[in-house]
Amino acid sequence: MNLNNTLTTDPSSAVQSDGRGRDTAVDQDLTVLLLPGWQGSGPDHWQMRWAKVHGFSVVEQNDWMRPRRGDWLARLDEVVIDAPGPVVLVAHSLGCILVSAWAAFSRHTAKVRAALLVAPGDVEAPAMQEMLPGWLPIEQQPLPFRSMVVGSDNDPYCSAERAQQLARDWSARWHSLGAAGHINADSSLGDWPGGHALLHTLLKD
């Protein structure tokens, strides 16, 4: 399995459901953890829609507006430890940076089956450094679990080139959505079935 390859196949056929919203393509022993970014994810964000439609769990942080790196790391570690079995991480924006930082220090990374990292926020960009100074630097070591970075060509918080570099640093597969902005509620993705299919594809490999 080569995690550095760009995904080029159409993943739409990977979506499976029992007709009642339950995700039959995700093993029942897996706990899917949704990791929102700075300021959280609103009700129209695909992460919140996935939580409602598929029963995935949102990792709640103590302070969404003033994110403290140490607090967020401790919370993620706690949730992973408490999970009854293996977990899948589905992160957005600052949540992706959280995953890379957590993987660099946690003793519990073996519990992670895979990570879908969507629209990572470039906290090393000058404008972001001023707003999120405690999140520097971004960890660059390979992730110890299979992973995929999903980015876009016009993300205001991370260029496509930078997102691809992060994918290489993390030994993650890269997938571009084209012009999809920050891949959030403003991107008008709805339930984002294409992203859901990417998750299934990642888990099948």
Instruction: Give pairs for 11-17: CB < 8 Å, separation 24+.
Output: 11/194, 11/197, 11/198, 11/200, 11/201, 12/193, 12/194, 12/197, 13/197, 14/197, 14/198, 14/200, 14/201, 14/204, 15/193, 15/196, 15/197, 15/200, 16/200
- Domains with residue ranges and CATH for the chain: 28-204 (3.40.50.1820)
- pLDDT of residue 8 exceeding 70, the answer is no
Terminal Cα-to-Cα distance of the chain (whole angstroms):
7
- pLDDT of residue 92 exceeding 70, the answer is yes
- pTM metric for this prediction: 0.87
Return the minimum-mean-pLDDT range out of 5-9, 48-52, 86-90, 126-130: 5-9
Pairing of strands 31-35, 87-92: parallel
Average pLDDT for 159-181: 98
Average pLDDT for 95-112: 98
Please provide the size of the chain in residues: 205
Mean pLDDT of the chain: 88
Average pLDDT for 76-82: 98
pLDDT at site 25: 55
Closest CA to 125 of 97, 88, 83: 97
Q: How confident is the model at residue 28 (pLDDT cuts 50, 70, 90)?
A: confident
Q: Is the peptide bond preceding residue 137 cis, with omega within 30 degrees of 0?
A: yes
- pLDDT of residue 99 exceeding 80, the answer is yes
